[in-house]
Amino acid sequence: MARRVVGAALPLVALLTGCAMLEVEDKEPVTEAPEVSEEAAAEGPAPAEDLTIAEIIEALQEGDIERADPALDRFLEGEPGHRVARSLRAQLDAEPREELGSAYFSHTVEPGETLGQLARRYLGDANRFLILARYNDIERPSRLLAGQRLRIPETAAREASADDAEGLDEQLTALGGGDDEEAYLRAIEADLEAGRYEDARDGVRQAGALTDNGLHAQRLEKLEREATSRYWGQRGDEARDAGDTEAALAAYGRALEADPELDDAREARGELRDKRKEELHSAAIRRYRNQDLEEAIALWDEALELDPEFEAARGYRLRALELQRRLERLGSSEEDAS
């Protein structure tokens, strides 16, 4: 009887075993985690990669903080004084609102603009793209869309300090654009937008050594004209404000040589020329009344160089010349009589 029970149970066991096997086959195979040796566990996480500063910037542009952060620390171990690396480290560690302030104005992204370009324009340094990205809660700085509205801190003008800004060569990677030529052009555009005309001229000189492409050359020529005219216009404003009329007129003249359509320089020069010619005319009249005819005539000559149609100066000059000739004739007659 016992044998019969055992015999009857065997098919049931086989059936149950078969069902269990089917259930196991239906499930996804379980992969066991590899065992970690005690030595590997003691060594801790894998060491940071040895990346160049350009590769670190590219990783940060792509939002790969996990890769860039330890690589940046490792880079600073070897070069603790590297200004770009130190700046990036500070930007990663800083709280953006505390660093840049809570007050801001809006900027709508134009086609082709990058965070590096906007950082150079508003913060004075393309490598400050990271703090600007964090200020706007942008996780991947390289992805900037036309029409996107950005917060630009109102402290931007104070942040754009020449002492803090790095050389253009050190900012090319952050400026983006795909190649050095495009990056240089973007930098020049950013400097022009920010009113840093001397920096823009330096960028033009550096870009000129690289640019051999027709399209790039055309853009560079236009930017060079704008940078030169704006630079000399700015120098003219500074000289005018300092009371150096002669230097201001010369600077405005150079600005208009570069760009004859620069209206603000033309208007400023016109106002100064009118003011200067009246000053010369007044000084000439004083010399004339004091019988200092030679100096008076020289002053009227200078006034007429500024404005050949200055009728008052022309009339007085003719009178001074006539009086000078009379005095010379009178002097000759007295010599003959003696």
Question: Rounded mean pLDDT of 161-178?
Answer: 61
pLDDT for residue 230: 94
Tell me the pLDDT tens digit for each residue of 228-257: 999 999 999 999 999 998 899 999 999 999
Confidence of residue 93 (pLDDT cuts 50, 70, 90): very high
Confidence of residue 71 (pLDDT cuts 50, 70, 90): very high
pLDDT over threshold 60, residue 145: yes
Question: Rounded mean pLDDT of 61-79?
Answer: 93
Question: Rounded mean pLDDT of 9-29?
Answer: 37
Q: Where are the beta strands (DSSP E) in the chain?
A: 104-108, 149-153
Structure tokens at 198: 């001397």
pLDDT over threshold 80, residue 214: no
Location of each CATH 1.25.40 domain in the chain: 268-337
Instruction: Judge contact between 256 and 229, C-beta under 8 A.
Output: yes
With 0-12 / 13-18 / 19 or more C-beta atoms within 10 angstroms meaning exposed / middle / buried, residue 48 is: middle
pLDDT for residue 23: 39
pLDDT for residue 35: 55
pLDDT for residue 4: 36
Entry pTM: 0.59
pLDDT for residue 40: 46
pLDDT over threshold 50, residue 20: no
Mean pLDDT is lowest, of 76-80, 102-106, 153-157, 325-329, for 153-157
DSSP string spanning 271-309? Answer: HHHHHHHHHHHHHHHHHHHTT-HHHHHHHHHHHHHH-TT
Q: Pick 268-337's CATH classification: 3.30.420, 1.25.40, 1.10.8, 2.70.98.
A: 1.25.40
Question: Rounded mean pLDDT of 2-30?
Answer: 37
Confidence of residue 38 (pLDDT cuts 50, 70, 90): low
Q: Count of residues for the chain?
A: 338
Short-list 74, 109, 110, CA closest to 89: 74
Q: What is the distance of C-alpha 210 from the center of its chain? A: 19
Question: Rounded mean pLDDT of 58-83?
Answer: 93
Tell me the pLDDT tens digit for each residue of 112-143: 888 988 988 888 888 899 999 999 999 999 88
pLDDT for residue 2: 36
Question: For residue 160, how many other CB atoms are within 10 A of its CB?
Answer: 20
pLDDT for residue 164: 46
